[in-house]
Amino acid sequence: MKLRNVLLAAMLVLILAGTAVAADTIKIGVYLPLTGRVAFGGQLELEGIQMAHKELPELLGKNVELVVVDNKTDKVEAANAVKRLVERDKVVAVIGTYGSSLAMAGGEVAEAAGIPMMGTSCTNPLVTQGKKFVFRACFIDPYQGAGAATYAVKTLGMKKAALLVDVANDYCVGLANFFKQSYKKLGGEIVSELKYNSGDQDFTAQLTEIISKKPDLLFIPADFAEGAIIMKQARELGAEFQIMGGDAMDNPEIVKIGGDAVEGFIHTTFPYDPSMTDMSEIAKVFTENWKKAHPDKDPNVNAALGYDSYMLVANAIKAAGSAEPAAIRDALAKTKDFPGVTGSKTINETHDAESPVGIVQIKDGKKLFIGTVEPEM
């Protein structure tokens, strides 16, 4: 009997100790595509988040624990990942994800549970539309599409454009539509609009038809791997038009995949790149710290957005003086002029971060940040 009492007492001590540890810990969930078709972007964002966590591992006198789940580049897995983070891991906030369709799936779960979610690079307007608990650290595609169209017409003087769009990808379809609307409003003409599906490898039929229309510009709102293949095949067919894309093309691997075919390629992105000549102080520090931690590779904007996303959530927890989800949500909604690596951020009434559209061009086999553009909406 005495032994039983001793064991019960020991178990009680362990339970109380576990409760004390839990009380001194703030859990923040992270769900990103760490495997699957867009894993490269998810891994970069995770590295940015982890870097921010290393710099700021405590909030309100408590340790911050990152709980990371792979959404496997799958909508169902994304929803299940957030469900696990909320129900099993008891996180107070969620960060993620790369990929708008994945963010929409996960955001529905976070919204229903009343857990604030900070999207990283998910630019489709539907991610935050009508949501009280879903936010994002980036601009949205109507703004990005208008920025691309404004630069094409006003700076490059290109009045005839063709589109080649992945119809199986929500991001690609949305960005293409917003570019087209703004381009036509600015006086441009769409001479061809052709389609393909995610995973396609042969684009010669579509490109041959596009070349016959003699556009000044081909806009491809593609993921970086498919975009590089499209550019290689376009150049092999003798295409001489300018090719332009969106932020999903902002990936160091694009030059490795596309080689000489990507020379001169222009894409919109978020306002950060290590080639910037007018970096803010926080961007300089981020770049220096990244290179110390990862001497074998340059940072890119996805890593910077992961970093900013963590810092936005951390700033909200500090501002609220609480790690309660509702308090974090309220503080996020009030965020103004937050100094991020990807620019100063104000969360607007639709829970999107307001920031300029950056323009990058591949020159001499390297990315060069040209500057920013103010979209004409």
Report the chain (377 residues): mean pLDDT per 10 consecutive residues. Answer: 49 44 84 94 96 98 98 97 98 96 97 98 94 96 96 97 94 95 98 95 97 98 93 97 94 88 96 90 96 91 97 98 98 97 94 91 93 88
Number of domains in the chain: 2
148 and 86 in one domain? no
DSSP code of 193?
A: E
166 within some domain? yes
What is the structure's pLDDT at 19?
A: 40
CA distance 208 to 205: 5
Are 326 and 231 contained in the same domain?
no
Residues 108 and 156 in one domain: no
| Residue 377 located in a structural domain | no
Q: Domain for residue 83, yes or no?
A: yes
Domain check: are 166 and 46 in the same one?
Answer: no
DSSP 115-139: --EEESS---GGGTTT-SSEEESS-
Which residues, including other chains, have CB under 8 Å from residue 136's CB and lie 6 or more apart? 103, 118, 119, 120, 122, 123, 127, 128, 351, 352, 353
Are 344 and 219 members of one domain? no
pLDDT recorded at residue 4: 53
Shared domain for 84 and 147, answered yes or no, is: no
Q: Which domain holds residue 261?
A: 142-269
Residues 253 and 337 in one domain: no
- The reply to whether 150 and 233 lie within a common domain is yes
Position 5 scores a pLDDT of 55
At 156 the pLDDT is 97
Residue 8 falls within a domain, yes or no? Answer: yes
Question: At 347, which CATH number?
Answer: 3.40.50.2300
Domain boundary residue among 239, 269, 299? Answer: 269
